[in-house]
């Protein structure tokens, strides 16, 4: 049977042979790397799976033939350097140098020298000439990451270099022509910095003439399985491992994580899982604690609220009212209600005892971790987070 992909509500997204959900496929517990990567492609070092990234790739293809300055916006860890490398690789001089520098690493007193170079004797300890990053990138691409960290005093000189393609090393009276494509990137709001006076407006408008926005991972969750397959393959080669499968439970936990650190954080999580697993598959227990117990912190406040100042959750269970002849007038509870209240009380007490650690609470209760998650949803203790809304992974016939 060929692979079947399921949407968040459990219905097929695209069936190869039919539109019917295959029970055997839905019950599969292990997902192969091949199926994780299904529907994705690699372009210029980028893993392309989501519509948002395909839009980014389309913009790259339009800008890459020209040596125009490009500004890449995006949160930390979204892959801005990969976009810059794709611009270089798909550009007119892919064989030229690709020089990258993080502006947050600039030394204030040496910043100008680092970028534009210096001549011997220009300052103390300048014992020989230095090219600087601009001339080192001549004939290729200079990627300035975290451009928002560039000192204000240096911004006019950067603007002039961008406008004239000329630089003047520190201590020199000679200008040097540089043939480069400048690509800048930032995770900061440069427009807001312009209003605050911490970033020059003329430099901002010059950089922003051609801009690319890289979306955060939480806005392209459909690409997460493909990234998982990519990183497993990468770390298999790096560490000499042969991981081939990922459990459904582990993949659902990965897809549910907020990924504040985006693709970079996901890569580190998979690296950890590869190191922790003792065989050819990754389970939820191999994942870092913040993934395997991803609900612990989010659930704590809801658990405390559910306790109602320590009052027993089964307070509704009272002696039934009776009439004069001892006949029961009204039965105040049902067996289902008693079981529900008892289950909720047991869950709350277990989570209290483990400080909200769902994995340890599940061990105390003798149930699986995802039974605990379902109970939290059923009792309204999940702060609006539903563990049934995870995108189901691509599976194959068992």
Q: Are 270 and 236 in contact (CB under 8 A)?
A: no
* Whole-number pLDDT of residue 357: 82
pLDDT band at 342; cut points 50, 70, 90: confident
Section 33-37 average pLDDT: 93
Confidence category of residue 334, pLDDT binned at 50, 70, 90 = low
In terms of average pLDDT, the best of 120-124, 148-152, 313-317 is 148-152
- Report the first-to-last Cα separation within the chain, whole angstroms: 9
Collapsed DSSP state (helix, strand, coil) of residue 14: strand
Q: Is the pLDDT of residue 302 over 60?
A: no
pLDDT score of 276 more than 50: yes
pLDDT digits over 152-178, tens only?
999 999 999 999 999 998 888 889 999
User: pLDDT band at residue 307, thresholds of 50, 70 and 90?
Assistant: very low
Mean pLDDT of 122-141: 87
Dist CA 23 CA 90 (whole Å): 45
pLDDT of residue 384: 43
The predicted pLDDT at position 119 comes to 85
Mean pLDDT of 9-16: 36
Q: What local confidence, expressed as pLDDT, does residue 344 receive?
A: 83
Q: What mean pLDDT do residues 70-80 have?
A: 95
| pLDDT reading at 385 higher than 60 | no
The rounded mean pLDDT for the chain is 79
pLDDT of residue 330: 53
In this prediction, residues 301-317 reach a mean pLDDT of 43
Higher pLDDT, 98 or 110: 98
- Higher pLDDT residue, 387 or 351? 351
Question: What pLDDT, on the 0 to 100 scale, is given for residue 392?
Answer: 36
Nearest to 130 by CA among 173, 171, 159, 96: 171
Question: Within 13 Å, how many C-alpha atoms sit on residue 10's CB side?
Answer: 6
pLDDT band at 29 (very low <50, low <70, confident <90, very high): confident
Alpha helices per DSSP H over the chain: 23-26, 33-36, 51-63, 80-89, 111-116, 132-136, 155-164, 190-196, 201-207, 224-239, 248-256, 262-276, 289-292, 296-306, 335-353, 358-365, 369-378
Q: 191-244 pLDDT, tens per residue?
A: 999 999 999 999 999 999 899 999 999 999 999 999 999 999 999 999 999 999
Give mean pLDDT, residues 34-53. 88
Asked if pLDDT for residue 355 goes beyond 50, the answer is: yes
Q: Decide if pLDDT at 393 tops 70.
A: no
Buried/exposed code over 303-325 (b: 16+ C-beta within 10 A; e: otherwise): beebeeeeeebeeeeeeeeeeee
**341 pLDDT higher than 50:** yes
Residue 292 and residue 361 in contact, taking contact as beta carbons nearer than 8 Å: no
> Per-residue confidence at 275, pLDDT binned at 50, 70, 90?
very high
CA–CA separation, 202 vs 164, rounded Å? Answer: 14
Q: What percent of the chain has pLDDT over 70?
A: 77
Whether 15 has a pLDDT exceeding 50, the answer reads no
pLDDT over 90, % of the chain: 48
361 against 397, higher pLDDT: 361
Based on DSSP, count helices (H) and strands (E) in the chain, helices before strands.
Answer: 17, 16
Residue 292 has pLDDT above 70, yes or no: no
CA distance 352 to 135: 61
Taking only the tens place, the pLDDT of each residue in 250-267 is: 998 899 888 999 999 999
Which DSSP state fits 98? E
Residue located via tokens 């399921």: 6
pTM: 0.67
């Amino acid at each position: 049977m060929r692979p079947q992909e399921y949407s968040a509500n459990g219905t097929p997204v695209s069936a190869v042979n039919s539109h019917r959900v295959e029970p055997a496929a839905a019950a599969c517990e292990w997902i192969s790397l091949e199926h994780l990567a299904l529907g994705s492609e690699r372009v210029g070092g980028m893993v392309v799976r989501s519509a948002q990234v395909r839009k980014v790739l389309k913009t790259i293809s339009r800008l890459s033939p020209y040596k125009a300055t490009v500004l890449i916006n995006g949160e930390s860890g979204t892959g801005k350097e990969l976009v810059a490398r794709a611009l270089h690789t798909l550009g007119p001089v892919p064989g030229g140098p690709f020089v990258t520098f993080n502006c947050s690493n600039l030394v204030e007193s040496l910043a100008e020298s680092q970028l534009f170079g210096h001549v011997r004797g220009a300052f103390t300890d300048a014992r020989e000439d230095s090219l600087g990053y601009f001339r080192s990138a001549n004939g290729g691409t200079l990627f300035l990451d975290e451009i928002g960290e560039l000192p204000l005093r240096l911004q006019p000189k950067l603007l002039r270099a961008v406008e004239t393609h000329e630089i003047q090393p520190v201590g020199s009276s000679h200008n040097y022509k540089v043939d480069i494509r400048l690509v800048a990137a930032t995770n900061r709001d440069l427009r807001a910095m312009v209003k605050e006076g911490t970033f020059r407006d003329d430099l901002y408008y010059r950089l922003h003439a051609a801009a690319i926005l890289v979306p955060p991972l939480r806005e392209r969750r459909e690409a997460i399985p493909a990234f998982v397959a990519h990183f497993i393959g990468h770390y298999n080669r790096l560490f000499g491992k042969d991981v081939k499968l990922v459990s459904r439970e582990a993949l659902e936990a990965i897809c549910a994580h907020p990924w504040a650190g985006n693709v970079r954080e996901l890569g580190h999580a998979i690296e950890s899982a590869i190191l922790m697993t003792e065989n050819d598959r990754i389970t939820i227990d191999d994942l870092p604690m913040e993934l395997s117990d991803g609900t612990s912190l989010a659930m704590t406040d809801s658990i405390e609220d559910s306790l109602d100042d320590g009052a027993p959750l089964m307070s509704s269970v009272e002696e039934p009212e009776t009439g004069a002849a001892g006949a029961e007038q009204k039965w105040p509870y049902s067996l289902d209600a008693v079981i529900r209240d008892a289950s909720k009380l047991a869950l709350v007490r277990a989570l209290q005892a483990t400080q909200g650690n769902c994995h340890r609470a599940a061990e105390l209760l003798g149930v699986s971790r995802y039974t605990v998650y379902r109970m939290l949803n059923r009792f309204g203790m999940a702060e609006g987070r539903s563990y049934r809304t995870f995108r189901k992974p691509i599976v194959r016939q068992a």
